[in-house]
Chains A and B, each alone.
Chain A
Amino acid sequence: MDTAFSSEDLKFQSEIRDFIKTNYPQELRDSINSKRKLGKELSREDLTAWHKILGKHNGWSAPSWPKQYGGAEFTPTQKYIFEQECAKAECQYIMPFGINMVGPVIYTFGNEEQKAQHLPGILSGEVFWCQGYSEPGSGSDLASLKTSAVKEGDHYIINGQKTWTTMAQYADWIFCLVRTNPDAEKPQQGISFLLIDMKTPGVTVRPIKLMDGSHEVNETWFDNVKVPVENLIGQENMGWTYAKFLLAHERSGIAGVARSKKAIERIKQIASSEMSYGEPLIQDPAFKAKIAAAELELSALEYTELRTLAKDSAGKGPGPESSLLKIKGTDIQQAVTELAMEAVGYYANPHLGTTLSNEYVGPDYATNLSGTYFNFRKASIYGGSNEIQRNIIAKMVLGL
Chain B
Amino acid sequence: MNFDYTEEQTLLDNMVTSFVRDNYDWDTRCNIVKSEEGWKEENWKQFAELGLLGVPFDEAYGGLGGKSADLMIVMEQFGKGLVVEPYLPTVILAGGLISKLGSEGQKNSIIPEIISGNIRCAFAYAEPQSRFDLNDVKTSAALNGNDYVLNGFKSVVFGAGMASHLIISARTEGEQRSESGITLFIVDTKSEGLTLQNYPTIDEYRASEVIIENLKVSKDNVLGKINMAYDAIEEIVDISTIAACSEAVGILQVLKDSTTEYCKNRKQFGQSIAKNQVIQHRLVDMMIEYEQAKSILYMAVTADLSNSDERRKAVSAAKARIGKAIKFVGESAIQLHGGMGVVDEYMVSHYFKRATMIGVLFGNTDYHMKRYMTLTQSGISSSDEAISVSVT
Chain A residues with a Cβ under 8 A of chain B = 1-5, 9, 33, 36-37, 76-77, 80, 90, 259, 263, 266-270, 272-273, 280, 282, 288-289, 291-293, 295-297, 299-304, 306-307, 309-310, 314, 324, 327-328, 333, 336-337, 340, 364-365, 367-369, 372, 376, 387, 390-391, 393-394, 397-400
Contacts and interface: CB of A to CB of B under 8 A. Distances in A.
B302 A1 contact: yes
A39 to B, nearest CB: 9
23 contacts: A2-B302, A263-B392, A269-B383, A270-B387, A273-B382, A282-B377, A289-B369, A289-B373, A291-B377, A292-B373, A296-B296, A300-B292, A300-B295, A303-B298, A303-B299, A304-B295, A307-B294, A327-B288, A328-B288, A365-B386, A367-B390, A397-B284, A399-B264
A379 B231 CA distance: 45
A207 to B, nearest CB: 21
B195 interface: no
Given A1-B298, A327-B288, A394-B281, A288 B373 contact: yes
Contacts of A302: 295, 299
A259 B390 CA distance: 12
Interface residues of chain B: helix, strand, loop or mixed (majority): helix
B333 to A, nearest CB: 14
Given A297-B321, A306-B1, A369 B302 contact: no
Contact of B389 (A90, A295, A337): A90
A368 B390 contact: yes
Interface stretch (B2-10, B111-119, B179-187): B2-10
B60 interface: no
A3 B292 contact: no
B296 A300 contact: yes
Size class of the B contact interface (CB-based, 8 Å): 35 or more
Contact of B387 (A266, A296, A368, A398): A266
Contacts of A270: 387
A297 B328 CA distance: 14
Contacts of B299: 299-300, 302-303
A273 B384 contact: yes
A2 B303 CA distance: 9
A80 B69 CA distance: 23
B280 interface: yes
Contact of B317 (A282, A299, A340): A299
Given A296-B296, A367-B390, A376-B392, 18 more contacts: A1-B9, A1-B302, A3-B302, A9-B1, A37-B388, A37-B390, A269-B380, A292-B320, A292-B369, A292-B376, A295-B372, A300-B295, A306-B295, A328-B288, A340-B391, A364-B388, A369-B390, A398-B287
A8 to B, nearest CB: 12
B373 A300 contact: no
Contact of A263 (B260, B291, B391): B391
Contacts of A397: 284, 287
A94 to B, nearest CB: 15
A400 B274 contact: yes
Interface in B215-263: 260, 263
B376 A300 contact: no
Interface residues of chain A: helix, strand, loop or mixed (majority): helix
A273 B388 CA distance: 13
B332 to A, nearest CB: 13
B283 interface: yes
A195 B277 CA distance: 36
B186 to A, nearest CB: 33
B381 interface: yes
Contact of A301 (B295, B383, B386): B295
A364 B386 contact: yes
B280 A36 contact: no
Interface in B336-379: 369, 372-373, 376-377
B321 A299 contact: yes
A32 to B, nearest CB: 8
